Amino acid sequence: MDVTRGKVVHVVFLEDTTEEVDGLIERVHCVERIEVGPDRIEVELLPTFVGCPAQDLIRSTVIDALAPLGRPAVVGFSFRRPWTSDRITELGRERLAASGFAPPAEPAAVRCPYCRSGRVAMDSAFGSTQCRSLFYCRDCRQPFEAFKPV
């Protein structure tokens, strides 16, 4: 099989998926480098936070997605350049909101991803992971998580 960088990007980040992790990788733009060699594929990712508990899950998801390409995949994380929430594209921000996560914003600027209301309250600065906070919408009464701006 002819494997190109474009094919790797398509397989891992653009194919339709119901997996939250696949979509999250694409939405928050944490890919730093992809190299396709004759004997392997290397993918370097940027974690959103040091000690991110999802790193092993993200790594195995990328390796599994690349398996059909027929080359071993080496997937690692790098701290050479820090990830920032500025890397999230406008499309990524829209997809985060569509999946129930508020895109990064200062707490006073967070909007509910369900009804777009600004009448929200932070329940906790600490969500299920270090990169998220818990909020509650006063209009639609939905709890939701918001990514922290970094």
Residue 85: left if φ>0, alpha if ψ -120 to 50, beta else—which one? alpha
- Render pLDDT for 67-93 as a digit per residue (tens, 0 to 9): 888 899 999 999 888 888 888 888 888
Of 39, 55, 42, which Cα lies nearest the Cα of 12?
42
Going 96 to 100 to 106 to 108, the CA torsion angle's sign is positive
- Render pLDDT for 99-115 as a digit per residue (tens, 0 to 9): 899 999 999 999 999 99
What residues pair up with 75 in beta bridges, in sequence order?
43
- Each domain of the chain, given as residue ranges in start order, spans 5-77, 101-147
Contact 41, 3 (CB under 8 A): yes
- Render pLDDT for 18-51 as a digit per residue (tens, 0 to 9): 444 445 555 556 888 889 888 999 999 888 877 7
Torsion over CA of 42, 89, 6 and 36, rounded to 10 degrees?
A: -10
Of 14, 76, 82, 22, which Cα lies nearest the Cα of 48?
82
